[in-house]
Amino acid sequence: MIRQFLIKTLLFTATFAATASAVSRYSYKIEDVTPHIISAYTQGFFYHEGFFYESTGQYGSSMIAKVDMTTGKILKSQALQRSYFGEGACIHNGLIYQLTWTQNTCFVYDAQTFNLLGTRRYNREGWGLTTDGKDLIMSDGTSTLYIMDPETLLDKRSVKVTLSGKEVGYLNELEYIEGEVWANIYMSDEIVRIDPTTGKVTGVIDLKGILPVSLRKPTTDVLNGIAYDPQTKSIWITGKYWPRVYKISLH
């Protein structure tokens, strides 16, 4: 099964690279570097009122955490039971929503206290989660984005993400930025910028090499994590078991 997954991933990466030339491509410049929780298997990552918030995965070590941006220190956290694998997360109307991978369960917390207020159900795998300020937007590892009612988590609509007419799968961690959905492509060093109305990819950001070889260890995993401050227009990215968070600008 692992071999089939790797072959499928390699084929997808080759196809993705071949079609990406049809849209705008962006490189990056590092503007700042801050510490990241190196033990965090990053699944959800977002900014809110001066702090990073992070949802981590892996059975037995999944949590939702409020993190000091400067030091990387966890200021507040809530652990999931060992039977849950944490996934994407976002904040909406004072509530933190945290998906789980295959348990079809979304945990809802008070954003100030981290008290668990309840759970809500959905009928697919949970991968990435963000909000446009009105609805929740979810990925499940396929090429589909689901726009959901925050109160019920029922789908209002869905859209297929395409690049030059070809579906783009493995949509992972999400962030809503200035009317677009930005998505990590699992097992790649690229982020796609998506028009959430049409599903069309408008741009591809190549982040290859942003985490230097000198900081990589055998446990270092893939790029996954996009956070955005709408006030300063700042963009931060990180990855699973990465020691750094990078503030970037695009070129």
Beta bridge partners of 223: 239
Residue-number span of the structural domain to which 165 is assigned: 2-250
Give per-residue pLDDT as tens, 88-146.
Answer: 999 999 999 999 999 999 999 999 999 999 999 999 999 999 999 999 999 999 999 99
Calpha distance 228→232 (Å, rounded): 9
pLDDT surpasses 60 at 31: yes
pLDDT of residue 9: 53
pLDDT of residue 23: 86
| Cβ-Cβ contacts under 8 Å for 20 (sequence gap 6 or more) | 163, 164, 190, 204
**Cα angle, residue 225 at apex, residues 221 and 231 outer, rounded to 5°:** 155
Q: Is 151:162 a contact under the CB 8 Å cutoff?
A: no
| Cβ-Cβ contacts under 8 Å for 219 (sequence gap 6 or more) | 241
Q: Is 196:180 a contact under the CB 8 Å cutoff?
A: yes
Token pair recorded at residue 66: 């409020």
pLDDT of residue 192: 98
Query: What domain count does the chain have?
Result: 1
Average pLDDT score over residue span 163-174: 96
**CATH number of the structural domain spanning residue 120:** 2.120.10.30
Calpha distance 23→17 (Å, rounded): 11
Calpha distance 141→149 (Å, rounded): 20
